[in-house]
Structure 1
Amino acid sequence: MSVIVDRFLAAADKASRDARVSDPLRAISHRDLLRLANVMRRQVLRQTDNPHVGLCMPSCVAFAGTFYGILWAGRTVVPLNFLLGPTELAAVVADSGLDTIFSIRHFAEQLAPLPVKKIFIEDLPLKREMIFERLRIKPSPPRVRPDDTAILLYTSGTSGVPKGVCQTHANLVHNVESSVAKARLEAGHRFLGVLPLFHSFGITAMMLVPTWIGADVHYLPRFTPAGLFDAIRERRSSVTMLIASMYGAMLKSKRGKAEDLASVTYAISGGEALPPQVHAEFLQRFKVDVLQGYGMTEASPVVSLNVPWDHRTGTVGQAIPGLDVRAVDDKNTALPAGRDGELWVRGPSVMKGYYKKPDETAAAITPDGWYKTGDMGNLDPDGFITITGRKKEMIIVGGENVYPREIENALEQHAAVAESAVIGRQDASRGEVVVAFVTLREGASATETELREHCRERLAGYKVPRQVIIAPDLPRGPTGKILKRKLKETLTA
């Protein structure tokens, strides 16, 4: 039996009729979402025998219905990131072996070059099928093993070619149940889904969680600060999850007021570091304490969470139940509390591996099950985790270890700085030196000299950027993360 589908079916039967799954174009009950999933289950069985089925849609009701329909058909879902370039998207389709993609006509031109069958939701007789669905007997969930892959999710490729992460049924069940328990989420919560559902956090936090607990969830296919303010105010949303740059964009908007966010009890930031300045300004202006969480696709994805009743600013919270986290040194020895090292994660949420990449899987997961995150950080005596940077991004200046995040935090304390990104540049005398890229707030001004002096007052001399480049914008990946490899390319161009 597929526990994922089984939980979905059970929750749909119990959900309140007032709890809706909605987007700007439609709103349906959880029971109607179940019916839509069964309609799409039959479409999957009719259209392809392939064990992998592609799904390319924005965050919407149809995505959720098709997602569950694919799983109900006993197949693996391959969510496609429609923000990828044509070469990257073609590589994902080829690597996953897709022959069929369910999508919407908005993406018809983008998908046209791909050598697969495209099924557009607008071309299906959904209204008629939904009526007939009320007369049909509900089929049982398919028989799957806990270790079978439920989702083949390709990483965004911020460091190179996307890799397929095999998230199993057991991975997802554990992550959802532990996240719900940790955050004490209940059916009475009202979710607002803004993160794209091709993103692991979007799938788990804004689709699996609300549909398993029978909560109301509304999807915004496109993020704009104005649209977010309006949706939260009108729908009285209580739970949302954004990346840090989205909270920053909300602060830049002149439209939003504290009353717009009065219903929010749980605002989560994940996917990238939340600058202390953004956290402080958001709390002051909107009276909402943004709480950081931590995770990655390879952990399905939630690793740790701050919660409203137990949180520490500057940390990403404590591990969810069932996961172990530790910091290790270069000899893979576990470090005591407060000591920086690479963070390793072990537990039922850790992926089965990278699809068709046994060598990369073996390099990422130890024989005893520890996943090497590549993130640097430490745990305090109570288990609260602080992220200090990426292992691969660490800069060695004259033999001293420098973590970009510390410098970025210092730069973003300057009143004129909106965002920053710090990288290392090869140097003949010191090995590497620090280079910072910054964008300025609207209407603000600052010089390189001013910003270097600002850092000098807050950091050790070897951590002060040798160069500060003031840029109009910073390059970003499909999910909004800053692409530091692109910045490195500008230095070597």
Structure 2
Amino acid sequence: MKRLADCLSQWAQATPDAPAVSDAHHDWSYRMLAMRVDEAACFLRERGVGAGDRVMLIGENGAALAALILAAGRLDAWAVLENARRAAMEVDAVHAHAQPRTVVFVVDNSPSAQAHAERHQAAAVAAPFGNVAVGDLDGASEAEPVDSDPASQVAAMIYTTGSTGKPKGVMLTHANLLHIGALMVRQRHLTHADRVYGILPITHVMGLSSGLIGTLSAGAHIRLVPRFSKDDCLRALREDGITILQGAPAMFARLVQAMPRGERLQSALRFIAVGGAPLDPALKAQTESAFGLTLHNGYGLTEASASAWTRLEEESADCSVGPPNPGMEARVLDARGKPVGMGGTGELWVRGPCVMKGYFRMPERTREVLKPDGWFNTQDLARLTPDGRIHIEGRSKDLIIRSGFNVSPLEVETALNAYEGVQYSAVLGVAQDGNEEIVAIVEPAPLRQLTEAALRDFLTQRLSPYKRPSRILFVQSLPVAPNGKVLKHRLREQLGDML
């Protein structure tokens, strides 16, 4: 297989009437999905998208978005994926950096995508594969060189926020994503009989790779769900024959909390797994008791998804993320770049077919983390145990992971500091129920009175919902260094039980 759409071709021939992709509006067999991808490819081509072009796709989980992602790759175009639920300024920042040839807003099942489309005055189109709106062609957008090997061509570009707060376009090739899809068949034993609850956003790497591509690689059925509802999820698990459920730890925490105490879920589930955020031992135990299944764990970044997974055939009593997946290597190095002894903690480096091609138009930043020999610095702290498993100990980079999404404290602080009445601010991540809560601590400017309501209203226009603080605390003064940098370690000590 060379391109993402190749993963469904064999099933379109072998099991054409088997269910492939469904959502609230569509229910497509493999034959129908292949037709819709062809139609979507024609749609993009007619609108001026060609090989090496970047086409920005803004939407939420749904069949139409899936078809467009696969169609873009068939044209050797890059799908720049953006979750429609992100704030306007964030979407526009990605658009400005990616400079796509055009933008397609997938409005089929997304009021948020519709709002972005209206803001950009995009033209509504009733396409065969779903309802979309299309922006104008950007004549200044230059196509990227097309690789002679389609598998090495960039299939998707997903923006992630690092510790600097500046979004980076992660270039993922067809080979990157197809390898992860194959891992789902090999390591998670997906077959054509499986039915996947697709709540992980396919605009993000885990939902795209192990979710959509993994399901199609197995000839299985994925039900794409745009937004999580614990009640809808539990109903689907009980009534719809769902066999595979993957999500962030916070999702499982909400499901467990919604179930009657002591109840064991009666369902067709055979496999549950978490990723994207640290797994708390208490949540693991609660989930396994409620579901009657082992809660498997995994590790990866947008830049190196599916680096390590726990194994179905092995005991997973602790919260390790398992050994490196087939084809992947891992090592732990100290601050000088020297190997750390077995059991010691250091920065985790990985190498293999899951590692990105690089950051779009950021060669210096790429060289900082990705070495010529293929080793990628995750900047996460980890230790290796003699059984080959990886234990994530923390993060050397200053990031909060909320419900599986990266949140840069600097980005939130920048938004807070833009408010006229804020002198200083600090944003901290606080562990809570298998998730990280975002807590903002604000020092008002002299002679200014701030209200939480006004500050929250200000942030609404600047930050996506998952980036907005759960709590805002006001203090008379923040501890700062002579250079004006807030001393967060001292702040944590001062606030103590308030956090």
TM-score (norm 1): 0.75
Letter in structure 2 aligned against 1:310: E
Aligned length: 408
Pairwise CA distance, 1:251: 1.9
Q: How does 1:252-271 map to 2 (within 5 A)?
A: 252-254=257-259, 258=263, 260-271=265-276
Q: Which residue of 2 aligns with 1:426?
A: none
2:236 partner letter: A
Q: Distance in 1 between matches of 2:162 and 2:117?
A: 19
Stretches of structure 1 that go unaligned for 5 or more consecutive residues are 128-141, 395-403, 406-421, 423-434, 442-472
Match of 2:373 among 363, 368, 371: 368
CA distance, structure 2, for counterparts of residue 164 and residue 178 of structure 1: 24
- The answer to whether the aligner puts 1:111 opposite 2:87 as a matched pair is no
* Residue 236 of structure 1: how far off its partner (Å): 1.3
* Residue aligning to 1:304: 308
Tell me which residue corresponds to 1:324. Answer: 329
Match of 2:282 in 1: 277
Task: Output aligned runs, 1:324-343, within 5 Å.
Answer: 324-343=329-348
Change in Cα spacing, 1:125 to 1:169, as seen in structure 2 (3 Å) is closer
Alignment of 1:53-202 (within 5 A): 53-105=55-107, 106=111, 107-114=113-120, 118=122, 120=124, 123-126=126-129, 144-156=149-161, 160-202=165-207
Aligned to 1:246: 251
Q: Alpha-carbon deviations, 1:356-404, whole Å to 9, x = none?
A: 000000001122211000110111112111000001359xxxxxxxxx9
> Deviation per CA, 1:272-314, whole angstroms, max 9, x where unpaired?
0111111111122332321111111101x11111133214221
TM-superposed CA distance for 1:167, in Å, is 0.5
Kindly provide the amino acid, as one letter, of the partner of residue 347 in structure 1.
G
Q: Which moved more, 1:16-25 or 1:287-296?
A: 16-25
**Compared with structure 1, are the counterparts of its residues 16 and 304 closer, same or farther at alpha carbon in structure 2 (3 Å cutoff)?**
farther
> After the TM superposition, which segments of 4 or more aligned residues of structure 1 sit over 6 Å from their partners?
481-490
Q: Does 363-372 or 93-102 show the bigger shift?
A: 93-102
Checking the alignment, whether the CA contact within 8 Å between 2:3 and 2:74 is kept in structure 1 is no
Q: CA deviation at 1:16?
A: 5.9
Superposition deviation, residue 438 in structure 1: 6.2
Q: Which is worse superposed, 371-380 or 331-340?
A: 331-340
- Deviation of 1:440 after TM superposition, in Å, equals 8.4
Deviation at 1:184, TM superposition (A): 2.2
Cα deviation code 1:67-110 (max 9, x no counterpart) = 11111222111111222221111111111111422223432322
Deviations 1:165-194 (A, max 9, x none): 011122222222234312222222221111
Change beyond 3 A, Cα 1:180–1:154: same
State the superposition RMSD in angstroms.
3.5
Aligned to 2:23: 23
In the aligned structure 2, how far is the partner of 1:481 from the partner of 1:283? 29
Partners of 1:479 and 1:366 lie apart in 2 by 35
Local SS of the residue matching 2:255: helix
Aligned to 1:4: 4
Q: 2-side partners of 1:35 and 1:28: how far apart?
A: 10
State the distance in 2 between where 1:438 and 1:298 align. 24
The percent identity for this pair of structures is 26
TM-superposed CA distance for 1:205, in Å, is 1.4
Alignment match, 2:39 = 39
How far apart, CA to CA, are the structure 1 residues paired with 2:211 and 2:202? 8
Give the alignment of 1:232-243 within 5 angstroms: 232-243=237-248
Report the residue type matching 1:166 in the other structure: M
CA shift digits 1:442-488 (9 cap, x unpaired): xxxxxxxxxxxxxxxxxxxxxxxxxxxxxxx9x99869589899999
> Is it true that 1:204 corresponds to 2:221 in the alignment?
no
TM-score, with normalisation over the residues of structure 2? 0.74
Looking at structure 1, the residues matched to 259 and 192 of structure 2 have their Cα atoms a distance apart, in angstroms, of 33
Kept after mapping to 2: 8 A contact 1:225/1:249: yes
Alpha-carbon distance in 1 for matches of 2:195, 2:67:
19
Change (3 A) 1:385 1:31: same
Cα shift at 1:161? 2.2
Task: Tell me the amino acid that sits aligned with residue 115 of structure 2.
Answer: E
User: What is the Cα deviation at residue 318 of structure 1?
Assistant: 1.3
1:226 touches 1:255 (CA, 8 Å); kept in 2?
no
Distance 1:90 1:298 in 2: 22
**3-state SS, counterpart of residue 56 of structure 2:** strand
